[in-house]
């Protein structure tokens, strides 16, 4: 018997109590009521914005890498003074961190796996909230959450972090063409929210990072937020250990300048010999103990019609967006 079948048999046998504990913990954090899953099964035959053959469906279904990548993105977002100021002035992340996590997870789930109309409604709701988020940073600059440049920065930090975490911790890294396709697919969400000049290839992401790098630095608000993100989290020892591993894995994924700005420098040997193996075990454990994402399963049920995949194409994206067409060059 091979290693994976052996572990799977343990997960359904001697390790069943652990599997149930992990599942209950995840459900209490992200929510899992039957009504929520039911909405992902409708309307029948609708592939949504991406569809089951998309790379986005694959990447966003892996809980471990998504948690690591999501936290990496949050660290990076603290380094943009205007993005950070908007969070500091308008977000209740300190008072209700779980609520904010659920709302973010719900938006990602709906836009990835929901039907086209539900995805569009979710984007419109977030855009409506963004229109009310504005103010003045300590340096006197005005900020708006609906600013296309800020929306692009937030989008890039998210998808690039998700992609890098998937490559490191999924156990099924993407080929170069698949990475390009993922960036191209997910750009539709950023465009729908109002972003512009969205990077849609590996080269464009790297050019974008070089372009915005001079604007990124750790303000007092950023250091405060980064400290909050690293606080012990969880009600049980298992949850707290998992959170500690996720934090260190997320820090490891940060570019060197970001670790230095946030005071999160770690020895390379520690990151290579301790953090990455622990992150791999954590990600594999989530995958083996939890099995397939229930949202992915519900979405697949929706797309399958009369025993075959729906012939309907993914929902039409916004005007000005064309899959496979490069954005304007970044300079």
Comparing 236 with 302, the larger pLDDT belongs to: 302
The reported pLDDT for the residue numbered 287 is 87
Average pLDDT over residues 190-219: 97
Average pLDDT over residues 199-206: 97
Q: How confident is the model at residue 331 (pLDDT cuts 50, 70, 90)?
A: very low
Chain centroid, CA 21 distance in Å: 24
Cα-based angle 36, 37, 40 (whole degrees, multiple of 5): 100
Query: Using one digit for the tens of pLDDT, what is the confidence trace for 128-176?
Result: 999 999 999 999 999 999 999 999 999 999 999 999 999 999 999 999 9
The reported pLDDT for the residue numbered 24 is 53
The reported pLDDT for the residue numbered 114 is 95
In the chain, which ranges are E strands? 134-136, 142-144, 304-305, 308-309
Q: Are 160 and 268 in contact (CB under 8 A)?
A: no
Query: Using one digit for the tens of pLDDT, what is the confidence trace for 15-70?
Result: 555 445 555 555 555 455 566 677 899 898 999 999 999 999 999 999 999 999 99
Percent of the chain topping pLDDT 90: 67
Average pLDDT over residues 224-234: 92
Comparing 73 with 317, the larger pLDDT belongs to: 73
Average pLDDT over residues 105-133: 95
Dihedral (CA of 205, 254, 61, 232) sign:
negative
Percent of the chain topping pLDDT 70: 81
Dihedral (CA of 178, 79, 74, 146) sign:
negative
Return d(Cα 22, Cα 32) in angstroms, integer.
Answer: 13
Given a cut of 70, whether residue 237 has pLDDT beyond it is yes
Q: In this structure, what DSSP letter does residue 197 have?
A: S
Tokens representing residue 303 in the block: 């797309």
Question: What is the SS3 assignment for 144?
Answer: strand
The reported pLDDT for the residue numbered 305 is 58
The reported pLDDT for the residue numbered 33 is 58
């Amino acid at each position: 018997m091979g290693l994976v079948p052996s572990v799977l048999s343990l997960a359904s046998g001697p390790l069943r109590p652990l599997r149930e504990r992990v599942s209950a913990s995840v459900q209490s954090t992200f929510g899992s009521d039957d009504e929520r899953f039911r909405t992902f099964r409708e309307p029948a035959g609708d592939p949504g914005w991406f569809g089951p053959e998309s790379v986005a469906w694959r990447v966003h279904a892996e809980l471990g890498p998504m948690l690591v990548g999501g936290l990496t993105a949050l660290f990076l977002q603290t380094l943009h003074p205007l993005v950070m100021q908007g969070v500091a002035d308008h977000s209740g992340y300190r008072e209700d961190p779980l609520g904010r996590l659920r709302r973010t997870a719900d938006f990602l789930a709906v836009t990835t796996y929901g039907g086209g109309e539900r995805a569009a409604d979710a984007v419109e709701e977030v855009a409506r909230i963004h229109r009310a988020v504005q103010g003045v940073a300590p340096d006197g600059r005005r900020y708006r959450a609906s600013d296309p440049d800020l929306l692009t920065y937030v989008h890039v930090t998210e998808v690039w972090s998700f992609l890098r975490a998937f490559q490191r911790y999924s156990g099924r890294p993407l080929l170069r063409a698949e990475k390009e396709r993922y960036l191209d697919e997910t750009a539709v969400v950023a465009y729908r929210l109002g972003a512009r000049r969205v990077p849609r290839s590996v080269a464009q992401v790297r050019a974008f990072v070089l372009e915005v790098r001079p604007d990124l630095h750790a303000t007092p608000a950023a250091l405060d937020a980064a400290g909050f993100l690293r606080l012990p989290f969880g009600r049980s020892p298992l949850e707290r250990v998992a959170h500690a591993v996720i934090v260190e894995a997320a820090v490891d994924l940060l570019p060197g300048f970001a670790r230095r700005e946030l005071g999160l420098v770690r020895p390379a040997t520690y990151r290579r010999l301790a953090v990455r193996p622990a992150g791999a075990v954590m990600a594999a454990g989530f995958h083996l103990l939890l099995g397939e994402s229930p949202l992915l399963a519900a979405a697949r049920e929706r797309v399958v019609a009369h025993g075959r995949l729906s012939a309907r194409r993914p929902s039409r994206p916004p005007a000005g967006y064309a899959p496979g067409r490069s954005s304007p060059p970044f300079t």
